């Protein structure tokens, strides 16, 4: 699932990788970087893109055959070291009820040619304990 900044509390700290994506695609199109070197997504990412990824309207910039899928991984306290794939808004809301902060990584992946790129990193802020002064 791809998430927008509006869905998440703690909107500061969003890192967008669109410029790096555009630059890399231009280098591939110019022949300076081979397609094989950018179409090397891990099989688990491709499986997630095919089975649970959020379909997008963006055509793969490398093979130009199919639309990429968005897969969102979250990392933080109590989660597996390789992250957890967020499936829907309820997953985000569950994390927001904890006292911990998390980072969500939105990745686009092409199930056809195995292109992948990190699009953005978004914070998921957990619930903060109320201070005694506020009580």
| Distance (Å, whole) CA 16 – CA 67 | 20
Comparing 134 with 13, the larger pLDDT belongs to 13
**Cα 72 → chain centroid:** 4
Q: What percent of the chain has pLDDT over 90?
A: 74
Residue with tokens 């790129």: 117
Beta-carbon count within 10 A of 107 CB: 22
Q: Is 70 helix (H, G, I), strand (E, B) or coil?
A: strand
Domain-embedded: residue 15: yes
Q: Which domain holds residue 65?
A: 5-128
For position 12, what pLDDT does the model report? 61
Instruction: Give this prediction's pTM.
Output: 0.81
Give yes or no for residue 10 having a pLDDT over 60.
no
pLDDT grade for 32, boundaries at 50, 70 and 90: very high
**Tokens representing residue 20 in the block:** 């790096």
Query: How many domains does the structure of the chain reveal?
Result: 1
Residue 113 counted as domain residue: yes
pLDDT at 13 over 60: yes
Rounded to 5 degrees, what are φ and ψ at 40? -135, 35
Q: How confident is the model at residue 127 (pLDDT cuts 50, 70, 90)?
A: confident
Please tell me the predicted confidence (pLDDT) of residue 101.
Answer: 92
CB 18 within 8 A of CB 42: no
Place of tokens 């005694």: 132
134 within a domain of the structure (yes/no):
no
Does residue 133 lie within any of the structural domains? Answer: no
pLDDT surpasses 80 at 130: no
CA 63, CA 120: separation in Å to the nearest integer?
22
- What pLDDT band is residue 133 in, cutting at 50, 70 and 90? low
Q: Name the residue with tokens 């688990």.
A: 44
Residue 135 in any domain: the answer is no
């Amino acid at each position: 699932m791809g998430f927008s900044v509006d869905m998440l509390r703690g909107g500061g700290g969003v890192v967008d990788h669109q410029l790096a994506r555009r630059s890399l695609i231009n280098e591939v199109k110019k022949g300076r970087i081979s397609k094989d070197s950018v179409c090397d997504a891990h099989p688990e990412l491709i499986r997630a893109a095919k089975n649970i990824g959020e379909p997008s309207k963006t055509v793969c910039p490398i093979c130009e055959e199919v639309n990429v899928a968005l897969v969102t991984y979250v990392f933080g306290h109590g989660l597996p070291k390789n992250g957890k794939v967020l499936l829907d808004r309820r997953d985000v809301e569950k994390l927001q009820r904890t006292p911990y902060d998390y980072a969500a990584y939105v990745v686009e992946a092409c199930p056809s040619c195995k292109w992948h790129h990190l699009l953005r990193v978004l914070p998921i802020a957990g619930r903060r304990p109320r201070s005694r002064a506020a009580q």
